[in-house]
Amino acid sequence: EDKVVQSPLSLVVHEGDTVTLNCSYEVTNFRSLLWYKQEKKAPTFLFMLTSSGIEKKSGRLSSILDKKELFSILNITATQTGDSAVYLCALNAGNMLTFGGGTRLMVKP
Amino acid sequence: DGGITQSPKYLFRKEGQNVTLSCEQNLNHDAMYWYRQDPGQGLRLIYYSQIVNDFQKGDIAEGYSVSREKKESFPLTVTSAQKNPTAFYLCASSMGWGGYEQYFGPGTRLTVT
């Protein structure tokens, strides 16, 4: 059975800090790994990763995948209060997405 | 204005009643999905549809039913057989099946008392 585990469960930082969120997985037929940001309602798409070692970047957010060690990290530099959200990692194993439990990030001013 | 809409935003029902949640997309996406999210938890897949007139059970389909008569619409019925229906329900769609990112609607919060 495919499995996705995110850590930490929650995190509180101050504006300007850098955070690293973790997503580890077990899968039989890997296709891609996706990161979403969920503020109040709909998760919004951040990144899709398919290849190991290639960093995807968007502004202060970046993500990388390690298919050998079966994990991905999401980095946020110079955090702002608007980064406060739940960050979801999802595994695409060909049929459907399997979501992790999410990491709740709170950024204090 | 392309996107996915869900209605209503909030829904209250008495136990024993069936209730239907609406999901419409104008993205011309083939695949659509229904997820359930409980407090502090990730998303769990209820049903999915790869193409019109076809749908499959996800991980937690018991007590739910769906239809896909039109490409743009994928309504979810929460039946009285669903033991813990109070939750946040999210609909999503993707361009195709497998390997495509999913785009989510704003969700419906269902409370059953």
- Residue B57: half-sphere exposure toward Cβ, Cα within 13 Å: 7
Nearest CA to CA, how far is B16 from chain A (Å)?
27
- Residue B19 φ/ψ, nearest 5 degrees: -145, 140
Select from B42, B48, B58 the Cβ nearest to the Cβ of A102: B42
Q: What is the pLDDT of residue B99?
A: 64
Nearest CA to CA, how far is B106 from chain A (Å)?
5
Q: What is the pLDDT of residue A53?
A: 86
Spatial separation of the C-alpha atoms in residues A54 and A38, rounded to whole Å: 24
List beta partners, residue B32.
Answer: B49, B93
CB contact under 8 Å between B101 and A48, yes or no, is yes
Q: Which residue of B has its CA nearest to A93?
A: B98
pLDDT, tens only, A34-71: 999 999 888 999 999 998 888 999 999 999 999 899 99
Nearest CA to CA, how far is A66 from chain B (Å)?
18
Spatial separation of the C-alpha atoms in residues B92 and B29, rounded to whole Å: 10
Q: By C-alpha distance, which of B72, B32, B75, B39 is closest to A96?
A: B32
| B102 Cβ neighbours under 8 A, 6+ residues apart | A34, A45, A97, B33, B92, B93, B94
A95 touches chain B (CB under 8 A): yes
Size of interface A-B (CB pairs under 8 A): 52
Spatial separation of the C-alpha atoms in residues B1 and B109, rounded to whole Å: 24
Distances (CA, A) of B46 to A98, B7, B20, B43, B78: 12, 18, 14, 9, 11
Q: Which residue of B has its CA nearest to A95?
A: B98
Dihedral sign for Cα A61, B30, B61, B85, please: positive
- Residue B101: half-sphere exposure toward Cβ, Cα within 13 Å: 15
Q: Which residue of B has its CA nearest to A6?
A: B42
Q: What is the pLDDT of residue B1?
A: 56
Dihedral sign for Cα B85, B86, B92, B98, please: negative
Per-residue pLDDT of chain B (113 residues), as tens digits, is 569 999 999 999 998 899 999 999 999 999 999 999 998 788 999 999 999 999 999 989 999 999 999 999 999 999 988 889 999 999 999 988 766 788 999 999 999 99
Spatial separation of the C-alpha atoms in residues B55 and B41, rounded to whole Å: 25
Spatial separation of the C-alpha atoms in residues A90 and A99, rounded to whole Å: 4
Of B25, B37, B43, B88, which to mutate for an interface test with A (greatest number of A Cβ within 10 Å)? B43
Q: What is the pLDDT of residue A19?
A: 98
